[in-house]
Amino acid sequence: QTGQLYILLLGFQVMHVSRIILFLSFLVAYMSSVAGNFLIIMLVSATRHLHSPMYFFLSHLSFCDIMLSSTVAPNLLQVTLHNGSHMSVTGCITQFHFFALSSATECLLLTVMSYDRYVAVCKPLHYQTIMVFPFCRGLVVFSWMLALVLALIITGLISLLDFCYSGDIDHFFCDFAPLVQLSCSDATVVQSAAFILATPETVIETVETVFIISTYVCIFLAIHRISSTTGKLKVFSTCSSHLAVVCMYYGTLIVIYVASSGENSLNIKKIVSLVYTVVTPLLYPIIYSLRNQEIKKTLKKYLKSCKVKL
């Protein structure tokens, strides 16, 4: 029954000329994001000296960014081009599932990467014995599996809600809150579902945030104890890319939570969600390419080899 019902995603509702400009901008951003993240995955996979824990985690983060942007961007392009687009309730729940999976995995991977940087800076003599490949692989598998379980629980509870009529969502993708608001189930059931869905996600995000802050406090204290300025800059450069990505990622999440109580909360949330789902997956490979010397050297060698072949 729910598969026969359709939801209208309203998108940004702009004039025709602005729609074309937005469509082309989103298309370029999406294609660049996929190409940049795929390039990082390819470089890490094909280059032996990049087969280290940091780049192993980075390749999974890039794959996660491809999944996140590919879950949202194609439908965003259709919504933008037509000033709105219909999607079945089943399709909407499916889109939210993959959005929740990629978002949760990204949070967990950023946490794992902060631990990797903590060990590299604070316990450098034990790094090789702690961050062995089976342990790193276990951390990545745990991140994906925990995110999958959380996403399945959330989408499973949403699918139990009754959707007895078609409706509009003033957004460009199917997020959790608009889906629950469209349900015609009993208000008590919806509120209970909302509480059950929000609690584990909030707890995990809080734990992750506290853990990341704690690791970086330890990292900054370790850097402060280094006597030479050159040594401080060298050590800080090993984690500056990850720190920039963490600040960008959690900064957008904080803005989304803060904006939910404002007068123009819907418009602000749409803009911030756009940054979160389209812009940041584009910026991540740029940040890692510009701030990481190993990636830059490998990319230059790869480009030189391509020129020689041509």
Cβ–Cβ < 8 Å for 189, 197: no
Longest dimension (CA), the chain: 68
Q: Provide the 3-class DSSP secondary structure of residue 223.
A: helix
Helix or strand holding residue 116 (H, E): helix 89-122
pLDDT in tens, 1-21: 444 678 888 888 777 778 888
Are 15 and 66 within 8 A, CB to CB?
no
pLDDT at position 263, please? 52
Which pLDDT does position 3 carry in this prediction?
45
Residue 118 CB burial class (10 angstroms; 0-12, 13-18, ≥19): buried
pLDDT at position 251 is 78
Distance of CA 215 to the CA centre of its chain: 20
Q: Write down the pLDDT at residue 283.
A: 86
pLDDT at 34: 93
310 residues of the chain, pLDDT tens digit each: 444 678 888 888 777 778 888 899 999 999 999 998 998 898 888 887 778 898 899 999 999 999 999 999 999 999 988 888 888 888 899 999 999 999 889 989 999 999 998 998 888 888 899 999 999 999 999 999 999 998 898 888 888 888 776 778 888 888 887 887 788 876 566 667 666 666 666 676 777 778 888 888 888 888 888 877 777 777 777 777 788 888 887 777 777 666 555 555 667 778 888 888 888 888 888 887 766 667 777 777 776 766 655 5
Tell me the CATH number for domain 2-309: 1.20.1070.10
